[in-house]
Structure 1
Amino acid sequence: MNLDIRKAIIQNISQNDKNQLEATIVDAIENGEEKMLPGLGVLFELIWEQSNNAEKQEMVEALEQGVKVSANPPS
């Protein structure tokens, strides 16, 4: 069976407006289910591809900070 996860995810959200897209992201993060990670990855890939270099740098910096906080949570 040949399953194109990217294509399926994009098709699944292709008619969503920005409020629905935001709700999808928030729901995936709040539920914390592992099965949602591929979908979030595809959404991030779409954002990355539409971003200019300054926006990409900003995302990388935010990611770096998020990783540091997650790796060393305050006690």
Structure 2
Amino acid sequence: MNTVDLRQAIVMRVQNNTAQELTEVIEDSVGADEQTLPGLGVLFEMIWQHSSEPEQNRMVDSLYKHLHHSEHANPSQ
């Protein structure tokens, strides 16, 4: 019997989605119950791994700015 790890299960769940469906998955997950965080993490990991260094730097810069310009760094904002 093959076991599927969490990453594989998440990828299998969305791999045949259209771009619009992927957008909906992300939008429905952002700010939702914490159960969706692992899925977003896997999707972000895929984005990160397939991004160029300038794209990664832009993402880190955006995150840094959010964390340091927000009084309480509320992740749901």
Please indicate the TM-score interval, normalised by the length of the shorter structure.
0.7 to 0.9
Where structure 2 has 5 or more consecutive residues not aligned to the other structure, the ranges are none
User: What does the per-residue CA deviation read over 1:20-53, in whole Å, with 9 as the maximum and x for residues that have no partner?
Assistant: 11110010014x2100000000000000011000
The answer to which structure has the higher helix fraction is 1
- Identity rate, percent: 35
Taking the aligned partners of 1:3 and 1:72, their CA distance within structure 2 comes to 35
Q: How many residues align?
A: 71
Q: TM-score, normalised by structure 2?
A: 0.82
Runs of 4+ in 1 over 6 A off after TM superposition: none
> What do you get for the CA RMSD once the two structures are aligned?
1.7
SS in 2 for 1:6: helix
Q: TM-score, normalised by structure 1?
A: 0.84
